[in-house]
């Protein structure tokens, strides 16, 4: 089934078993089986429900500020001397990142399902803040699991969540980062499965989550298509997005999957080097395995234990990746490369000084690759960067690094 995308429509996946080629599936404790089955059924119902679609569209336009613009980055384009660079401005959404697209959809679904207690995991805190925000708006009870290491490097986001009325639970098991926060959220879900909705933050986990999150994030790519069409009279030649779990990338890629001429680039966190524990370049350096309910590329030890990861960006340091990305990699439909901490910091500064936009460190990884790519492309070509979030949350850690004089902690 893999490898032959010329004959099949890439956009029709996952199949009924939640598979993208051989990736995906449902590797979950038995206790969650009824919950994921119910979630799949309820999602299939609302997916084409005009009332649901209408309410979600209203929230997008009146609450989170969509459509956000596609900004032509003229000064950044001039720096590279190559392809025209456009920025899809997810940083301008309410709460400052693409995460709210997914949360609005999922919590609307939770309401439909009569679930009043919401749990979520968060890495950088962006998904946690988005969940706490929408939970406040909808009047839902919200609990966010966050690795203890992340609570320290993103303490302002911890306060934001608490200020919005959510409970933040620091996770002290394992490496105390995103993967452990997901484990704890799953344990909570296993325990409180009857009244609890797990609002997962990326295109990861067991079926149907990779599909649901992708669908709710696809508004990024849908708007980009229209906006680029309006600006250039055609589709872009390439789109570039950072990949941790991979939700902003999947949201950007999905509406372009069947347009084979649009090249898709995913950018992973190269961290400090290629040794185990020094990076989070799952697709570039990992191999397939089972993690968090899915079969997907993951970073693991030779004994099959989940490896530790590092990135300067708290939103990218995840040992796994969405299964659809694994499939897009194997089929060759998307290309994945890694950008290291220092390159990301440099790109962050470059975008700040040429365009007056401070990107999130996550998004800065995409900027770094896009600048390289644009330089090798013709001036008549164009590429779109998914600017997944704004960099305010990272100012404190960038300030600390500047004081120390380098990317090495």
Partner 1 sequence: MNDLRERLVEKISKKQKILSIYLTAGFPEADSTVSLLRAIAENGADLIELGVPFSDPQADGPVIQQASQKALDAGMRVAKVFSILQEFRCFSTVPVILMGYANPFMKYGWRRCAEEAAAAGANGFIIPDLPPEESGDLTRLCRTNGLDQIYLITPVTPVTRIELINSLTSGFIYAVSITGVTGERRELPLETIQFLRRLRKTSRHPVLVGFGVSNQETAKSLAAESDGVIIGSAIIRLIAESKNTGEACEKVKAFVWMIKDSLGEIA
Residues binding partner 1 (CB under 8 A): 17, 25-31, 33-35, 173-174, 179-180, 183, 186-187, 190-194, 289-293, 298, 300, 302-306
- Other CB atoms within 10 Å distance of the CB of residue 16: 7
First-to-final CA distance of the chain: 44
Q: How far is the CB of 25 from partner 1 (least distance, A)?
A: 6
Give the span between the Cα atoms of 375 and 6, in whole angstroms.
29
Give the sign of the dihedral formed by CA 122, CA 335, CA 229, CA 358: positive
Order the strands of the 287-291 sheet from edge to edge: 19-20, 23-24, 294-298, 287-291
113 vs 290 by CB, closer to partner 1? 290
Among the residues of 300-391, which ranges form H helices? 323-331, 341-355, 361-376
239 vs 299 by CB, closer to partner 1? 299
29 vs 378 by CB, closer to partner 1? 29
Give the sign of the dihedral formed by CA 191, CA 194, CA 197, CA 198: positive
Give the span between the Cα atoms of 151 and 155, in whole angstroms.
5
Q: How far is the CB of 16 from partner 1 (least distance, A)?
A: 11
Catalytic residue among 84, 88, 90, 99: 99
Residue 64 DSSP label: I
Decide if 99 is catalytic: yes
190 vs 352 by CB, closer to partner 1? 190
Catalytic residue among 88, 90, 115, 121: 121
Decide if 388 is catalytic: yes
Q: How far is the CB of 151 from partner 1 (least distance, A)?
A: 19
Among the residues of 25-177, which ranges form H helices? 33-47, 50-59, 74-80, 99-112, 126-138, 148-153, 155-163
Residue 383 β-bridge partners: 85, 238
Q: Is 276 exposed, middle or buried (0-12, 13-18, 19+ CB in 10 A)?
A: middle
β-pairing, 117-122 vs 141-147, is parallel
Contact status, residue 279 vs residue 309, Cβ threshold 8 Å: yes
- Other CB atoms within 10 Å distance of the CB of residue 197: 24
- Residue 384 DSSP SS3: strand
Among the residues of 139-273, which ranges form H helices? 148-153, 155-163, 178-191, 209-217, 219-232, 247-253
Of 290, 382, 388, 288, nearest to 348 (Cα)?
A: 388
Give the span between the Cα atoms of 290 and 293, in whole angstroms.
7
- Annotated catalytic residues are 99, 121, 388
């Amino acid at each position: 089934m893999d490898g032959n995308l010329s004959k099949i429509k890439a956009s029709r996946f996952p199949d009924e078993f939640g598979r993208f080629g051989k990736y995906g599936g449902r590797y979950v404790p038995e206790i969650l089986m009824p919950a994921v089955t119910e979630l799949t059924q309820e999602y299939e119902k609302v997916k084409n429900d005009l009332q649901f679609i209408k309410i979600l569209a209203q929230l997008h336009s009146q609450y989170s500020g969509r459509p956000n613009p596609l900004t032509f980055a003229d000064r950044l384009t001039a720096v590279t001397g190559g392809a025209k660079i456009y920025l899809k401005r997810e940083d301008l959404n309410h709460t400052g990142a693409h995460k709210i697209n997914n949360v609005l959809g999922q919590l609307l679904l939770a309401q439909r399902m009569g679930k009043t207690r919401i749990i979520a995991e968060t890495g950088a805190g962006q998904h946690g803040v988005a969940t706490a925000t929408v939970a406040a708006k909808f009047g839902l009870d919200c609990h966010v699991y966050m690795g203890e290491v992340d609570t320290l490097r993103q303490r302002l986001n911890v306060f934001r969540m608490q200020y919005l009325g959510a409970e933040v639970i620091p996770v002290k098991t394992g490496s105390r980062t995103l993967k452990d926060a997901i484990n704890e959220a799953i344990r909570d879900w296993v325990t409180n499965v009857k009244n609890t909705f797990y609002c997962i933050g990326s295109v990861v986990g067991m079926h149907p989550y990779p599909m649901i999150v992708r669908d709710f994030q696809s508004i990024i790519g849908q708007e980009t298509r229209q906006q680029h069409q309006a600006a250039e009279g055609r589709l872009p030649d390439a789109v570039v997005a950072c990949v941790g779990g991979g939700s902003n990338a999947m949201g950007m890629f999905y509406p372009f999957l069947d347009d084979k001429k649009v090249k898709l680039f995913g950018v992973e966190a190269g961290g400090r080097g290629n040794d185990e524990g020094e990076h989070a370049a799952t697709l570039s350096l990992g191999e397939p395995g089972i993690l968090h309910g899915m079969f997907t590329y993951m970073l693991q030890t030779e004994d099959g234990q989940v490896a530790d990861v590092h990135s300067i960006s708290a939103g990218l340091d995840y040992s796994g990746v969405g299964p659809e990305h694994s499939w897009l990699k194997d089929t060759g439909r998307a290309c994945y490369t890694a950008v290291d901490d220092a390159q990301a910091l440099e790109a962050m500064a470059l975008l700040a000084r040429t365009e007056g936009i401070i990107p999130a460190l996550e998004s800065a990884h995409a900027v770094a690759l896009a600048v390289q790519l644009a330089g090798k492309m013709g001036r008549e070509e164009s590429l779109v960067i998914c600017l997944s979030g704004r960099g305010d949350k990272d100012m404190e850690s960038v300030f600390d690094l500047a004081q120390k004089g380098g990317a090495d902690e």
